[in-house]
Amino acid sequence: MRTEERNQIKLAQQGNAEVLAELIHEHYSFLYKYLVKVTMDPIMAEDLAQDTILRCIEKISLYDGSSSFSSWLMTIGTRIYMDQMRRKKREKNWLFKEQGIRRIRWQFESRNEEWSDVLESLAGLSREHRVSVLLKHYYGYTYEEIGDMLAIPSGTVKSRVAKGVRQLREEMR
């Protein structure tokens, strides 16, 4: 790291906003180009770069100089990107599940079949827990039989059933 940059960082950490702005300005283009390559989306890269800069401003006092300043910015940007991708995946899964539940409920109701609160609660369980609970408590299989069916140890089945039942009880309250 250049001596000049090291001095800028110290001043920025001491609260000098002008120096911090200069430091960010010097590294912004590099950060943005990196994020474009990561996301393959210039608009998303711009948003991530802005979020990264905000985080940098908030956390400048934590920068310890163990890596270059640009590497630190890249690390922050990458972590923000990964967090956003995980969040989007969870949201997508949630939306898919919600649409699936609505579709099934509609099919039940359109055929004048009962859609109960239990079915609603079952839909809220993870696939692994739902299958284990159904096989054990609705269809009456033993833990060993379920383990054989799912190719998992019977102890894993027991824990999935226990956790699924616990979640159902909480949901039904």
Question: What are the structural domain ranges in the chain?
Answer: 3-89, 116-172
What's the whole-number mean pLDDT along residues 45-70?
Answer: 93
Distance CA 103, CA 100 (A): 5
pLDDT at position 151, please? Answer: 87
pLDDT band of 44, cuts 50, 70, 90: very high
The answer to whether residue 6 scores a pLDDT higher than 90 is no
pLDDT at position 43, please? Answer: 94
Q: What letter would DSSP give residue 16?
A: -
What's the whole-number mean pLDDT along residues 1-8?
Answer: 81
Q: pLDDT > 90: what percent of the chain?
A: 46
Distance CA 61, CA 21 (A): 15
Distance CA 26, CA 3 (A): 15
Q: Report helix, strand or coil for 2.
A: coil
| Domain 116-172 in CATH 1.10.10.10 | yes
More confident residue, 86 or 54: 54
pLDDT at position 13, please? Answer: 92
pLDDT band of 126, cuts 50, 70, 90: confident
Q: How far is CA 46 from the centre of its chain?
A: 21
Q: Which residues contact 142 (CB under 8 A, 6 or more apart)?
A: none
pLDDT at position 10, please? Answer: 92
Distance CA 83, CA 125 (A): 23
The answer to whether residue 61 scores a pLDDT higher than 80 is yes
Lowest-confidence segment of 23-32, 56-65, 124-133 by average pLDDT: 124-133
pLDDT at position 14, please? Answer: 94
Q: Report helix, strand or coil for 88.
A: helix
More confident residue, 42 or 117: 42
**Average pLDDT, rounded, for the chain:** 85
pLDDT band of 108, cuts 50, 70, 90: low
Q: Which CATH class for the 3-89 domain? A: mainly alpha
